[in-house]
């Protein structure tokens, strides 16, 4: 079996968490290849990253609307990729113990979308970024949605961290959110806005799942979830067919009387009228 076949079999048998890790890793390797290739030519940028990353400019975004999702599969460098995938592996596998893999995908993809939208809004409407332009890559918004989502669902779940001990999940999620708020004053403010957008989605989606699904959030969720086709099932009815009730009218009483006479005295004792009546009833 070739190496590619081995990878293909592992991918097919993997859960949603591992599949996302494989996809992100493969895309990173591809971008590195394009980066090296484009670096052979002076004044040429990595067109793959430019084409799929999310720009803060609304005009640029409208020219490549797919970037609202594709940016979540690009990473700036190896350590950026590694940090996201480590969190995704541990938190993601914890997540699918309490949610379905379909919900995991919803958290990831809609977390990326919400993070990307907040990134664009922050650059265009917040005074912090006046006269600035930015470019966003990374799966952190999707990872944040999963992290905050599972922490909202089971806040008192404890993780054992080396050299620290047991820490409640909501404490870790709270620290993550606070660090991103502090980072709004740093050089990666746009990225921190995206992380907070993903975290906000994870919180709202989990909270909404505990009550009736209403509002714009549920509308967005249903747009991105696959509709399962109704299965055509052939089945046998478990209810037994009721037998037609035996006629208990005058004819039946007369038949019973004739049969009783036969049993006592024999068929030959019947009158001609009784024999004709019994014959007619037997034809019905």
Write down the pLDDT at residue 184. 84
- Helices 140-153, 101-125: axis angle to 10 degrees equals 120
User: Is residue 3 a part of any domain in this protein?
Assistant: no
3-state secondary structure 260-282: HHHHHHCHHHCCHHHHHHHHHHH
Q: Return d(Cα 142, Cα 114) in angstroms, integer.
A: 9
Tell which phi-psi region holds residue 43, choosing left (phi > 0), alpha (psi between -120 and 50) or beta: left
DSSP single-letter state for residue 138: -
> 29 and 148 in one domain?
yes
Write down the pLDDT at residue 186. 77
> 193 and 265 in one domain?
no
Cβ neighbors of 104 (< 8 A, separation 6 or more) are 16, 17, 92, 95, 96, 146
pTM of the model: 0.69
> 185 and 267 in one domain?
no
User: Is residue 72 a part of any domain in this protein?
Assistant: yes
> 167 and 27 in one domain?
yes
User: Is residue 7 a part of any domain in this protein?
Assistant: no
Q: Return d(Cα 54, Cα 61) in angstroms, integer.
A: 7
Tell which phi-psi region holds residue 41, choosing left (phi > 0), alpha (psi between -120 and 50) or beta: beta
> 171 and 34 in one domain?
yes
Cβ neighbors of 171 (< 8 A, separation 6 or more) are none
Using an 8 Å Cβ cutoff, are 152 and 200 in contact? no
User: Is residue 235 a part of any domain in this protein?
Assistant: no
Number of domains in the chain: 2
- Please state, as a whole number, how many other Cβ atoms lie within 10 Å of the Cβ of residue 93: 14
> 116 and 64 in one domain?
yes
For residue 211, the domain's CATH number is 1.20.1540.10
Write down the pLDDT at residue 125. 79
Write down the pLDDT at residue 14. 85
> 124 and 21 in one domain?
yes
User: Is residue 97 a part of any domain in this protein?
Assistant: yes
> 165 and 258 in one domain?
no
Residue 141 half-sphere exposure, CB side, CA atoms within 13 Å?
A: 34
User: Is residue 37 a part of any domain in this protein?
Assistant: yes
Q: 42 by DSSP, 3-state: which?
A: coil
State the DSSP string of 231-251.
P------SSPPPPPPPP-SHH
User: Is residue 233 a part of any domain in this protein?
Assistant: no
> 219 and 274 in one domain?
no
> 46 and 109 in one domain?
yes
Q: Return d(Cα 51, Cα 71) in angstroms, integer.
A: 9
Q: Return d(Cα 180, Cα 193) in angstroms, integer.
A: 8
- Backbone φ and ψ for 174, nearest 5 degrees, come out as -65, -40
User: Is residue 148 a part of any domain in this protein?
Assistant: yes
Alpha-carbon 188 to chain mean position: 30
- pLDDT tens for each residue of the chain, 284 residues long: 577 777 778 878 889 999 999 999 999 998 888 777 665 444 445 667 778 889 888 888 788 889 999 999 999 889 999 999 999 999 999 999 999 999 999 999 999 999 999 998 888 877 665 556 778 999 999 999 999 999 999 999 988 888 888 899 999 999 999 999 998 887 788 889 999 999 999 999 998 865 544 444 555 555 555 554 444 444 444 455 555 444 545 577 777 777 777 766 666 677 777 777 776 776 55
Using an 8 Å Cβ cutoff, are 111 and 144 in contact? yes
The domain of 258 spans: 250-283
> 96 and 172 in one domain?
yes
> 210 and 71 in one domain?
yes
Write down the pLDDT at residue 216. 47
- Of 181, 209, 224, the position where a domain reaches its end is 224
Write down the pLDDT at residue 275. 73
């Amino acid at each position: 079996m070739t190496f590619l076949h081995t990878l293909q079999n592992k991918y097919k048998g993997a859960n949603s968490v591992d599949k996302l890790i494989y996809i992100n890793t493969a895309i990173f390797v591809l971008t590195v290849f394009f980066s090296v290739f484009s670096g052979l030519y002076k004044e040429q940028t990595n067109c793959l990253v430019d084409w799929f990353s999310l720009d803060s400019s609304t005009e640029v975004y409208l020219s490549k609307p797919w970037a609202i999702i594709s940016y979540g599969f690009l990473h700036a460098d190896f350590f950026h990729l590694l940090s996201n995938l480590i969190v995704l592996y541990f938190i993601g596998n914890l997540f699918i113990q309490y949610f379905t893999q379909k919900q995991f995908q919803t958290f990831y993809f809609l977390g990326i979308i919400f993070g990307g939208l907040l990134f664009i809004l922050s650059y265009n409407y917040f005074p912090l970024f006046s006269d600035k332009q930015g470019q966003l890559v990374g799966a952190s918004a999707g990872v944040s949605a999963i992290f905050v989502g599972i922490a909202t669902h089971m806040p008192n779940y404890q993780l054992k961290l080396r050299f620290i001990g047991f820490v409640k999940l909501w404490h870790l999620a709270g620290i993550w959110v606070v660090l991103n708020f502090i980072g709004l004053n740093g050089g990666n403010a746009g990225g921190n806005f995206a992380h907070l957008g993903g975290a906000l989605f994870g919180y709202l989606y989990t909270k909404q799942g505990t009550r009736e699904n209403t509002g714009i959030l549920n509308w967005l969720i249903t747009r991105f979830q696959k509709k399962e086709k109704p299965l055509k099932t052939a089945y046998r009815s478990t209810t037994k067919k009721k037998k037609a009730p035996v006629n208990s009218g005058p004819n039946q009483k007369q038949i019973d009387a004739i049969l009783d006479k036969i049993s006592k005295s024999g068929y030959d004792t019947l009158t001609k009228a009784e024999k004709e009546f019994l014959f007619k009833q037997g034809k019905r």
